Structure 1
Amino acid sequence: MPSSQMPSPSLLGRLRAFFGGSSDGRLGTTVTAARAVELVRDGASLVDVREKAEWRSGHAPQAVHIPLADLDRASRRLVKDRPVVVMCASGMRSRTGAKHLRSLGYDATSVSGGIGAWQRAGGSVRR
């Protein structure tokens, strides 16, 4: 079908894509910290992929600590049918972590801006 005859995405699909989701209902590759806070409040798992010393300096109380190098063992601590929000210090390692989790079959996304953005968006941090 020529692109001029392709149906345009629905308004809902366009909104999901704009706010970090996809038209098929799966999460996008990254989300804003505000959206991440909402997702976790709605039941998504939160994974912190920072190293142990970073974790000890402050972390979201509901987060599961799985350093990036240990994500292959994530299946022991995560549920496949629940969305996963991945966090780090800045958003760099969490993008790698979310991509790896997606390759393992999880619906995973990265928090843009890391734990600082998470806290500015109203997410709690325990020190």
Structure 2
Amino acid sequence: MPQQVPTVPAAEVPADAVVLDVREDDEWVAGHIDGATHIPMGDVPARLDELPEGDPLYVTCRGGGRSARVAAWLNQNGYEAVNVGGGMGEWQDAGRPMVSETGNPPRVV
């Protein structure tokens, strides 16, 4: 039986939330939440010492699938993690603020 992962819609993530973005580098560079920590999904187990202090830690990706898997894994390993439902796509659609590393307007890729 799959584990239920706590999930909150992107529009309801608190403004002061501690966010972990598990997308790949090119996705991050195109647009992300200002102040989020970026650790690609595959790197999370090896980089636990880089996780931001957050209780809970909100985990996001592009659409919510990767972040749900990471949040479930973190919860199984003693962290309090919440999946951002709909990911950065829903975040952008909700008009939530984003920044870009490209010099262009932020976007979700």
Root-mean-square deviation over aligned CA pairs: 1.6
CA distance in 1, matches of 2:77, 2:49: 9
CA distance in 2, matches of 1:29, 1:65: 20
> TM-score, normalised on structure 1?
0.67
Relative to its length, the structure with more helix (as a share) is: 1
**1:9-59: CA deviation from partner (whole Å, max 9, x where unpaired):** xxxxxxxxxxxxxxxxxxx621111222x2xx2x43101000011111111
Identity of aligned residues (%): 40
Identify the residue that residue 46 of structure 1 maps to in structure 2.
19
The structural deviation recorded for 1:78 is 2.3
Partner of residue 50 from structure 2, selected from 66, 73, 76:
76
- Structure 1's consecutive aligned runs of 4 or more residues displaced over 6 angstroms after TM superposition are none
CA distance in 2, matches of 1:119, 1:74: 27
Larger Rg, first or second structure (1 or 2)? 1
Deviation larger for 103-112 or 117-126: 117-126
The count of aligned residue pairs is 95
The structural deviation recorded for 1:97 is 0.8
Using CA pairs below 8 Å that are at least 6 residues apart, which structure has the higher relative contact order?
2
8 Å Cα contact 2:59/2:67 also seen in 1? yes
Q: Which amino acid letter does the alignment assign opposite residue 42 of structure 2? A: A
Structure 1 gap segments, 5+ residues each? 1-27
